[in-house]
């Protein structure tokens, strides 16, 4: 119930104004977002890479409504990739891209063209791109763009959301050699017609999807903070004899940092998803919807288990 209310608020500009001016907002944002500027993103990336983690960087922004905004987002990624490469942070750092930020909502071809330019820049920088997945109305379009991008840039990563009923079938389609697939539970408010609603159903779907990906031929990226899913992931890695070069765990910046360090210390590949930029509102509200107690906590560590 609370999750639904927070997710509904994530679309409200009135609530956005209230949240932006609330006294504790700055600390909460700082916990989950690396900073507003490209330099902040680079600094956070350097720290994580020095600690033995891989990184994927997300330039925040999803309400792109004009071609100019989409182009500006593309250009920021091109700049970021050049800076990452110049700082010697590739291939440890890659980028995550939302097609909505590149124009998908009003011109799919423009979003494809922009994503293609980012993939080409990533390729030149010696790293990869992963296409984030947004709400279910965009799934077909995103997978279609992914298929086109993979013709020239086969390492382009996909994201599949275990809460969607269709996802087991999408996992089967995408579990082929060379296919990088991030599996997450899903962060949007979705209707029952397309998505499992209960935690138990979503978790069971996550495990079924993980089984398909881990037993398949692709490169699974298990994106979760859930101790049970992580333990099952470790178990499946043993079953299917997958070493650290054949799958990875992924978690969000600021969430369970000690668990990220533990897994990396045990030799797993762990990638931290690092958002930066000043359009943090939608991202932050999705994080709060997942764990409404977060704002009162100065650090998530006390709640780690």
Our CB check for ligand FAD shows the closer of 82 and 262 to be 262
Rounded least distance, CB 49 to ligand FAD, Å = 16
226 binds ligand FAD (CB under 6 A): yes
Instruction: Give the one residue of 78, 252, 263, 284 binding ligand FAD; rule: CB under 6 A.
Output: 252
Shortest distance in whole angstroms from residue 297 CB to ligand FAD: 8
Residue 245's beta-bridge partner residues? Answer: none
In the complex with ligand FAD, the residue whose CB is nearer, 81 or 252, is 252
By CB under 6 A, tell whether 170 contacts ligand FAD.
no
Minimum distance from residue 186 beta carbon to ligand FAD (Å): 5
Structure tokens at 132: 């984030």
List beta partners, residue 270.
249
Using the rule CB under 6 A, is 159 a contact of ligand FAD? yes
- Pick between residue 225 and residue 242 the one whose CB is nearest to ligand FAD: 225
List CB contacts of 193: < 8 A, sequence separation 6 or more.
Answer: none
CB of 164 to ligand FAD, least distance (A): 9
Active-site choice (31, 58, 116, 132) = 132
Near ligand FAD by CB under 6 A, which window of 36-44, 73-81, 170-178, 220-228?
A: 220-228
Chain centroid offset of residue 22 CA:
27
Is 182 one of the catalytic residues?
yes
Choice among 116, 180, 182, 236 that is catalytic: 182
* Phi and psi at residue 271, to the nearest 5°: -115, 130
Q: Binding pattern to ligand FAD, positions 76-115, x when CB under 6 A?
A: ----------------------------------------
Question: Which of the residues are catalytic?
Answer: 132, 182
* Binding region for ligand FAD (CB under 6 A): 132-133, 159, 161, 184-188, 223-227, 229, 250-252, 255-256, 273, 290-291, 294, 300, 303-305
């Amino acid at each position: 119930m609370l999750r639904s209310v927070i997710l509904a608020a994530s679309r409200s500009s009135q609530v956005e104004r209230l949240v932006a001016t609330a006294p504790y907002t700055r600390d909460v944002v700082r916990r989950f977002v690396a900073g507003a500027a490209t330099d902040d993103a680079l600094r956070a990336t350097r720290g994580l890479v020095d600690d033995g983690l891989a990184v994927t960087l997300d330039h925040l922004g999803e309400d792109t409504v004009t071609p100019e905004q989409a182009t500006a987002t593309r250009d920021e990624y091109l700049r970021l990739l050049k800076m990452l490469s110049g700082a010697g942070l590739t291939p440890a750092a890659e980028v995550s891209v939302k097609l909505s930020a590149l124009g998908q909502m009003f011109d799919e071809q423009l979003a494809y063209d922009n994503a293609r330019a980012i993939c080409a820049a990533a390729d030149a920088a010696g790293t990869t791109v992963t296409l984030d997945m947004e709400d279910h109305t965009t799934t077909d379009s995103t997978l279609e763009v992914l298929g086109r991008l993979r013709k020239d840039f086969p390492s382009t990563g996909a994201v599949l959301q275990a809460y969607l009923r269709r996802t087991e079938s999408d996992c089967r389609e995408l579990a082929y050699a060379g296919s990088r697939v991030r599996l997450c539970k899903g962060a949007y408010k979705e209707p029952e017609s397309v998505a499992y609603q209960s935690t138990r159903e979503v978790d069971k779907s996550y495990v079924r999807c993980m089984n398909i990906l881990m037993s398949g031929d692709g490169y699974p990226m298990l994106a979760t903070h859930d101790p049970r899913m992580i333990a099952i992931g470790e178990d499946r890695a043993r079953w299917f004899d997958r070493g650290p070069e054949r799958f990875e765990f992924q978690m969000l910046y600021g969430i369970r940092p000690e668990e990220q360090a533990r897994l990396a210390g045990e030799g797993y590949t762990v990638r931290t998803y690092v958002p930066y930029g000043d359009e943090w509102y939608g991202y932050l509200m999705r994080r709060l919807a997942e764990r409404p107690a977060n704002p009162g906590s100065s650090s998530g560590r006390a709640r780690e288990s």
